[in-house]
């Protein structure tokens, strides 16, 4: 049986939104289901398990500890899971999903800002920013041109990123990552760690991807028209047609894309 919801309203603070300023509700969740208002909310989770549902305005959510659910809505929303194995579901606008406790542009909730756990983060229909951290995270972009990033706190866990439709940017950092840009002209940056980058899977016709493996011993799977930088240790090409040469700069990459389309 689901626990009933109890919400503590700390205060309402005025947001400078020009004429007809809206009132932002500051909400503290104490476990169970926690729902925002139709105003811009600042929602802070408990140290237990919360199911937090933002509503129809610009909301900033910090779930804190526990295995939490964070749901965007009419947004755009800032959803910060922090510690615990969290589940994220963005709304239809351009949202920020982050495991760091300070993902809101001006939101600094109480708490230690610890951000770990094995998290599942799904973008929605907008151009989302999705950022994991420690743990074995799964990041899914959804529709839109999304930016995804993995953790920065060393080599703990393995992050798997999926771009979905749209021209996405998938960026690894300190640890080993797996990336699949899928549909659209995607850019893959492995960063440090031994990464596996698949730019060929579930690809849309006519798209040309960039693969930049970065440091580590990396493996790349790419279509022949994709641009693969020389820092990829192992490269498997798929498909037919001429193979795009490695591009050392963004300008060369753009020229390679144009050439690939001209012959495709």
Q: Are residues 59 and 43 in contact, defined by beta-carbon separation less than 8 angstroms?
A: yes
Pairing of strands 23-29, 7-14: antiparallel
Which residues are CB-contacts of 159 (< 8 A; sequence separation ≥ 6)? 132, 136, 137, 138, 139, 150, 151, 172, 175, 177, 178
Whole-number pLDDT of residue 160: 93
The structure tokens listed for 167 are 């021209």
Whole-number pLDDT of residue 179: 95
Question: Is the dihedral angle over the CA atoms 200, 124, 61, 136 positive or is it negative?
Answer: negative
Whole-number pLDDT of residue 198: 96
Burial class, 19, CB count within 10 angstroms (exposed 0-12 / middle 13-18 / buried 19+)? exposed
How much is the CA Rg of the chain, to the nearest whole Å? 20
C-alpha closest to that of 119 among 80, 154, 147:
80
Per-residue pLDDT of the chain (264 residues; tens, 9 = 90+): 333 333 332 233 323 333 334 546 789 998 899 999 988 899 999 989 999 999 878 889 988 888 899 998 877 888 988 878 889 888 878 888 887 655 544 333 333 444 567 888 888 888 888 888 777 889 999 888 999 988 665 556 788 999 999 999 999 988 899 999 999 999 999 998 899 999 998 887 889 999 999 999 999 999 999 999 999 999 999 876 667 655 545 555 565 556 555 544
Between CA 87 and CA 197 the distance in angstroms is 24
Q: Are residues 181 and 168 in contact, defined by beta-carbon separation less than 8 angstroms?
A: yes
Between CA 49 and CA 131 the distance in angstroms is 21
Whole-number pLDDT of residue 230: 95
Between CA 103 and CA 131 the distance in angstroms is 9
For tokens 């959803």, the residue is 79
Q: Does pTM surpass 0.75?
A: no
Between CA 84 and CA 99 the distance in angstroms is 10
Whole-number pLDDT of residue 233: 96
Whole-number pLDDT of residue 110: 34
Whole-number pLDDT of residue 73: 83
């Amino acid at each position: 049986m689901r626990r009933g919801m109890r919400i503590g309203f700390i205060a309402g603070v005025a947001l400078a939104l020009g004429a007809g300023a809206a009132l932002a509700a500051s909400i503290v969740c104490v476990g169970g289901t926690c729902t925002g208002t139709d105003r811009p909310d600042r929602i802070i989770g408990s140290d237990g398990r919360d199911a937090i549902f933002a509503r129809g305005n610009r909301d900033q959510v910090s779930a804190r500890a526990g295995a939490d659910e964070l749901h965007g809505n009419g947004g755009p929303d800032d959803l910060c899971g922090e510690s615990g194995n969290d589940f994220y579901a963005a709304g239809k606008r351009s949202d920020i999903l982050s495991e760091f406790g300070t993902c809101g542009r001006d939101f600094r909730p109480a708490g230690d800002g610890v951000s770990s756990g094995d998290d599942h983060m799904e973008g929605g229909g907008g151009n989302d920013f999705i950022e994991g951290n420690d743990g074995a995270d799964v990041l899914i972009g959804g529709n839109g041109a999304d930016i995804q990033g993995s953790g920065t706190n060393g080599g703990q866990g393995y992050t798997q990123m999926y771009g979905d439709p749209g021209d996405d940017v998938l960026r690894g950092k300190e640890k080993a990552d797996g990336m699949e840009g899928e549909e659209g002209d995607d850019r893959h940056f492995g960063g440090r760690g031994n990464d596996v980058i698949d730019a060929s899977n579930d690809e849309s016709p006519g798209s040309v991807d960039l693969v930049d493996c970065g440091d580590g011993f990396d493996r790349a799977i790419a279509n022949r028209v994709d641009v693969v930088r020389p820092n990829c240790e192992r490269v498997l090409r798929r498909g037919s047609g001429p193979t795009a040469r490695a591009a050392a700069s963004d300008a060369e990459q753009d020229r390679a894309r144009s050439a690939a389309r001209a012959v495709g």
